[in-house]
Structure 1
Amino acid sequence: MCMSIFFKGTLKGPHHQDRQSLTAAAKNGCKMCLHINSTPEDEDLDPPLEYVISWDRSNERHYVIEIRTKSPPKHMPIWNRWTFYVNTSGDAKAPPGYDEFLDLVTADLASDPCRVRSEFPPLRDIPDNTGHGDVAKLAKQWLENCKTDHECELLCGQQDKSWHPKRLIDVGFPHEPPRLVTREDDQLEGSYVALSHCWGQNPNFLMLKTDKESEFRKEIPMDQLPASFRDAVITCRRLDIRYIWIDSLCIIQDSHSDWLFHSEEMFKVYLNCELNIAIEASANAHEGAFRERDPTFLQDCYLWTPFFTPQPHDTQYFPSTDEFKSSGRGFDAAYVARYNIRENGSLLHFYAELVDEYTSRELTFPVTDKLVAFAAVATRCASWFKGDYCAGIFRDTMPWGLLWQIYSPRGGARSQTWRAPSWSWASMDCSVRLDLFPKKQKTDLAKMVDVSVELVDPNNQFGQVKSASLTLTGPLVSIEALVFSDCQTVQKDPPRTMGRETGISVLGHHFELTPDENFTWDDDPDQKTKTQGLMVLS
């Protein structure tokens, strides 16, 4: 049935007419039906279904195939829909035997529309577990191709191959236990891997403490390592990379001075590593890096159709869970090497994208790590802007850099333990979006008079902050804000209404407001509160 979509020559037509036939096609191996049929039985999936093909205007090389219910369920205002994107690559001649294959598929439509014939051409042999040795072989091949054929230094920056972190884990050979090594006491040769992982809530895995360092110098028993660390060590051995940097095993966890030292070096740790391993699908270190998977979804798909003639392209893996967003400790590794100056476009807007992405993550230790975990990214961005870095905002971007807002379905709260000034996005424990406008279309109304920041470590402007102050001048205007009364419960159990912005009328223009939990209001939700606002731009 799904195969017929691509050679009927029509942009709209029938799909499976009942759940039974959809399930049968899924069991027979149809990738699209398998995805649609994964909808739980108790959720709304109301065949008959239909397909609609359209052109993706946001990407000139994509077609969009949408499978949806023919009409919305009675109790729902919209259709159930599943969207598939097809990447086109130009004209290509169909291989020998493809016409005969289509004849068989066409015959199946009349006699057995749930039948799914063997793929054409034959499928590749793909392991059903990411811990299979062949997966590491492929990763090693990709890494070598990258080092040989790619110009990654233009993107990542110049690496210092002779530099090593203060401590590393020597993974050894399969018959040897890993051990802790240092750049001062050991002759370190070769490259290293940096690991990014989620600590999770109440972490209880093996960590480096002051009284454990001498013991770890001799060996770190593999059976005492959490699953994610064991998997990372195994991967390094398979890649023939001798060393790995793991934050909890390479930073002394009960030494504040060692933590401060590494907060300054974090940028170098990720910049100079040979490879970053990001364990994105695990909520904590005990869940491991390797996963069972269905190879069906990783197979190349060959299609020759009247609409377009795609060719197979590189398979991309998207984790089935979003656990990596639950810990910001991996953000530096996952993103700092990926971003660089855009030759075209606004650097301020680009920096805003980084802040947006970072704040969508939940850190295990936000009080201490909110600014520190972002430090490597900020360090890379420092050359783009003039002036100092002030608690997450570059001085050169003010007052524009102050225009951020809460962006979260459940709203958010300011940290109950002070870590950043209220005018900084770093003071919030929620997703934040910098609300920027094209500068040529706006006029600055506010002027920054002074900004000062007292740092925990005076030598690290990207680290923790003790105190900060900001002085602005500009016109004050009266703002009438309608604030929901139930927002006052934000610190205990933030209601969903906290994520809704409320209307503001300023000089005849309509703006939006998400109130701070320190905002005061009456229990009457209809009461309008008079307050004063500083106009930043118009």
Structure 2
Amino acid sequence: MPLPKPLRQSKHSGSSSQPRRNICKQCHNLDPRGHTSSVCESESSKEVTSNLTLILDALQLQRTKETTDGGCRFCRVLIKALDNFFDDWKGFRGRIILGMKEKGTIKISIDGNTWRGKLIEIYAESASRAPWPALGHAHHIPANAGSDPTFNFARRCIQDCLTNPKHVACKPPSKALLTMPKRLLDVGRVRVPIRIIDTQGKTFEYATLSHCWGTGPLLKATKAKWSKLVSNIPFDALPPLFQDAIIITRQLGIRYIWIDSLCIIQDSSRDWETESAKMGAIYENSYVTISATDSGDSNTRCLVDRRKAIKIPYENTAKKEFELRARLIQDHHPDTVEREPARPAGHLMTRAWALQEHTLSTRILHYTATELLFECKTSYRCECLPSRKTYPTTPSIIPKAITKRSKDLSAVWDAWQRVVEQYSKRDLTVASDKLPAISGVAAKIKDATGSSYLAGLWKDNLATDLLWSSISSPSDLKLYALEKYRGPTFSWASLNAPVSYYAPDTDERESFKSTIKLHSSSVALGGLNPLGAVFDASIRLCGPCLPALLSSNQKEGGSWEYVLLVRGTSAIPVSNDCLLHESEIVNKSGNSEKTVRRALIGAEMSVFKTPVLCLGVAKYDAWMSGLILGQSERVLGAWERLGTFSAGMEGFGKAEEQVVTIV
């Protein structure tokens, strides 16, 4: 749970000016008022509430006495909640983060990967008085995802979106502009056969399913099965997740649903390329996307029982008995301060295809392990926070950027780069899907800008797009180049690595200036999708170039570090794309020459100091950022990207304009 940012420090120590005795130094009696770290926020002109975040030592909390006549009774409440939901917390040596809000609930989280994203929420039972004034109540979450209250919540969210005049971005395009899927699954009514239909250019109201395929067997449309799929699919023959998706579709009053594995003929490369290219529009134009967020494959249902809240007995100083409630929730709410969208947790959030589906959908129902979340292009709601306030959402990222775009289109380019950063962290079952699985988002960017697409980069934003960096961490020590070509080295799609872009502040953005000119570009498509897979690509650039030596050295622990050695300057740190190694090529003159290239799995790593070329891509203030290039073994005379650098301009005084081809 992130620590809240104080809006303003209270002039007083809390909402109550009355002194209180026997305040626990550890948990502050689970009361956000009166602590030196309490923060007062004005939610309205009449109401001021206190917030407090405390960091507890886990071992110290574990030592709290469990006897009724000793220790803090409030700490015992925390211990009972932790014992019920985090079984292995005892013995943990670390921090417990306690978040409290006056008249609100108490949230507990623990540092560490074991409990990442999980929260325990403590609250007063709705039908009874709170045991102490600062504790509030919580919204009820039904015990089953397929309950009537949950379906009613889903219907309300969708209807509010459809009828609210403020949801301009959520309005569907005219029927003439709708891109319909070629096929839909007709789920009809209970007594009518389920079958696949051909839409034949007509428009239908339909739902879509966003789901993990998993590694096990999956019901898929194939040429051999086609005749049966278009006539009758017995409900019992469908995998459990598809059954649940059909139940949800019927409950929402919709007749049709699009499921990728059934509505695209999987053993027809032409059909897959044609329909997958329309996938972004298919999700965007659907009535609602059913996101099986917590389901790992089609055999895992989404209409499941949820873990029930527990009762925690509590006795105040007057010996009056109360029953508190505690439940497990996820840290999924939007961050309104940082303008970050909701963070649903589950297997689906690790899948690359799903990000595009969620970014482009108009409305989404996220079926998580703890509750139902709703997102549209305008607002967010969930069962624990069902209010109708406007929050940042994933489906609103692209529409808002397009709406706010100025003549320089910076908002659109920023939105693309933020999506790519999230996308690059996710997994693909089929490695060659790297570009196709984000082509729907690329189509929206292309429509908004009219720019040419260069295998993951944009011609009209080439300087900043080229300066992506591979994110290095201890887990990336064995990051290698791909065995099979998937994209040019200047594209992030050429690696299986999380990437990031530099986010300049306002002053840096104003001083940022590209130092390159694009002479020509070439992209050879790998299929029918113009924004999909490629089997070759290159760009020919003119910009300031400087020869340098790239030096490698192995650090303690086995990782490798690389620095640039440029005459007249100190060593320049390098952000390498992956592991690098020295190699030899035969140049155009027929002579053998040393170069550096991205290392393949099994490459022999060694210490080296080898010539490379530095290409200055952009400058801002007194800094130059650019690419480190090594001579290509694959294309004679061309260069391949090895990483990026950023250095003071003084080192580039002797740089000369040069035309280079990067592949």
Using the size of structure 1 for normalisation, the TM-score is 0.73
| Conserved? CA contact 2:83–2:89, under 8 Å | no
SS at structure 1 position matched to 2:617 = coil
CA displacement at 1:383 relative to structure 2: 3.1
| Conserved? CA contact 2:352–2:423, under 8 Å | yes
**Greater relative contact order (CA < 8 Å, ≥ 6 in sequence):** 1
Cα deviation digits, residues 408-434 of structure 1 (max 9, x gap): 532244332212111111121222223
**Which of 439, 455, 464 lines up with 1:391 in the alignment?**
455
CA distance, structure 2, for counterparts of residue 377 and residue 332 of structure 1 = 6
CA displacement at 1:443 relative to structure 2: 3.5
Partner of 2:231 in structure 1? 218
Cα deviation digits, residues 493-535 of structure 1 (max 9, x gap): xx9947xx75546655844322434542797866544422212
**Which of 279, 290, 294 lines up with 1:266 in the alignment?**
279
Cα deviation digits, residues 6-27 of structure 1 (max 9, x gap): 3541135897953265999899
Identify if the C-alpha distance between structure 1 residues 255 and 394 changes in structure 2 by more than 3 Å, giving closer, same or farther.
Answer: same
| Conserved? CA contact 1:485–1:524, under 8 Å | no
SS at structure 1 position matched to 2:539 = strand
Cα deviation digits, residues 42-83 of structure 1 (max 9, x gap): 652469x796989xxxxxxx99989899xxxxxx9xxx9999
Partner of 1:306 in structure 2? none
Identify if the C-alpha distance between structure 1 residues 64 and 28 changes in structure 2 by more than 3 Å, giving closer, same or farther.
Answer: closer
Partner of 1:417 in structure 2? 484
CA distance, structure 2, for counterparts of residue 527 and residue 132 of structure 1 = 64
How do 1:23-422 residues align onto structure 2 when only pairs under 5 Å count?
33-34=81-82, 38=86, 40-41=88-89, 44-45=92-93, 101-102=131-132, 124-149=139-164, 151-154=166-169, 158=173, 160=175, 164-184=180-200, 190-201=204-215, 203-294=216-307, 296=309, 316=333, 321-337=345-361, 338=395, 339=397, 340-342=399-401, 343=404, 346-367=411-432, 369-407=433-471, 409=473, 410-411=475-476, 412-422=479-489
How do 1:422-461 residues align onto structure 2 when only pairs under 5 Å count?
422-435=489-502, 437=504, 438-457=508-527, 460-461=529-530
Identify if the C-alpha distance between structure 1 residues 14 and 450 changes in structure 2 by more than 3 Å, giving closer, same or farther.
Answer: closer
Identify if the C-alpha distance between structure 1 residues 222 and 440 changes in structure 2 by more than 3 Å, giving closer, same or farther.
Answer: same
5+ unaligned residues in a row in structure 2: which ranges?
A: 1-23, 38-53, 68-72, 311-331, 335-341, 362-394, 583-595, 597-602, 619-623, 625-663
Identify if the C-alpha distance between structure 1 residues 243 and 37 changes in structure 2 by more than 3 Å, giving closer, same or farther.
Answer: closer
SS at structure 2 position matched to 1:536 = strand
Partner of 1:111 in structure 2? none
CA distance, structure 2, for counterparts of residue 23 and residue 325 of structure 1 = 40
CA distance, structure 2, for counterparts of residue 350 and residue 531 of structure 1 = 33
| Conserved? CA contact 2:581–2:605, under 8 Å | no
**Which of 470, 483, 489 lines up with 2:539 in the alignment?**
470
| Conserved? CA contact 2:143–2:307, under 8 Å | yes
CA distance, structure 2, for counterparts of residue 158 and residue 416 of structure 1 = 43
| Structure 1 range deviating more: 20-29 or 282-291 | 20-29
| Conserved? CA contact 1:446–1:473, under 8 Å | yes
SS at structure 1 position matched to 2:224 = helix
Is 1:10 aligned to 2:58, yes or no? Answer: no
Relative to its length, the structure with more strand (as a share) is 2
Letter in 2 for 1:102: W
SS at structure 2 position matched to 1:475 = strand
| Conserved? CA contact 1:22–1:37, under 8 Å | no
| Conserved? CA contact 1:167–1:181, under 8 Å | yes
Once superposed, what is the RMSD of the aligned Cα atoms?
Answer: 4.5
CA distance, structure 1, for counterparts of residue 74 and residue 431 of structure 2 = 44
CA displacement at 1:446 relative to structure 2: 2.4
| Structure 1 range deviating more: 259-268 or 16-25 | 16-25
Partner of 1:115 in structure 2? none
| Conserved? CA contact 1:26–1:34, under 8 Å | no
Is 1:533 aligned to 2:595, yes or no? Answer: no
SS at structure 1 position matched to 2:152 = helix
CA distance, structure 1, for counterparts of residue 62 and residue 614 of structure 2 = 56
Letter in 1 for 2:132: L
CA distance, structure 1, for counterparts of residue 164 and residue 305 of structure 2 = 31
Cα deviation digits, residues 267-320 of structure 1 (max 9, x gap): 3211210101111222222222234434549xxxxxxxxxxxxxxxxx959788
SS at structure 1 position matched to 2:523 = strand
Using the size of structure 2 for normalisation, the TM-score is 0.60
| Conserved? CA contact 1:159–1:271, under 8 Å | no
| Conserved? CA contact 1:404–1:434, under 8 Å | yes
CA distance, structure 1, for counterparts of residue 116 and residue 299 of structure 2 = 36
Letter in 2 for 1:456: G
CA distance, structure 1, for counterparts of residue 453 and residue 464 of structure 2 = 14
SS at structure 1 position matched to 2:88 = coil
CA displacement at 1:144 relative to structure 2: 0.7
CA distance, structure 2, for counterparts of residue 281 and residue 23 of structure 1 = 36
CA distance, structure 2, for counterparts of residue 425 and residue 14 of structure 1 = 39
Identify if the C-alpha distance between structure 1 residues 284 and 452 changes in structure 2 by more than 3 Å, giving closer, same or farther.
Answer: same
SS at structure 1 position matched to 2:419 = helix
Partner of 1:513 in structure 2? 575
Identify if the C-alpha distance between structure 1 residues 246 and 27 changes in structure 2 by more than 3 Å, giving closer, same or farther.
Answer: farther
CA distance, structure 2, for counterparts of residue 6 and residue 84 of structure 1 = 18
Letter in 1 for 2:282: V
**Which of 58, 62, 65 lines up with 1:19 in the alignment?**
62
CA distance, structure 1, for counterparts of residue 66 and residue 289 of structure 2 = 40
CA distance, structure 2, for counterparts of residue 528 and residue 442 of structure 1 = 32
CA displacement at 1:330 relative to structure 2: 1.8
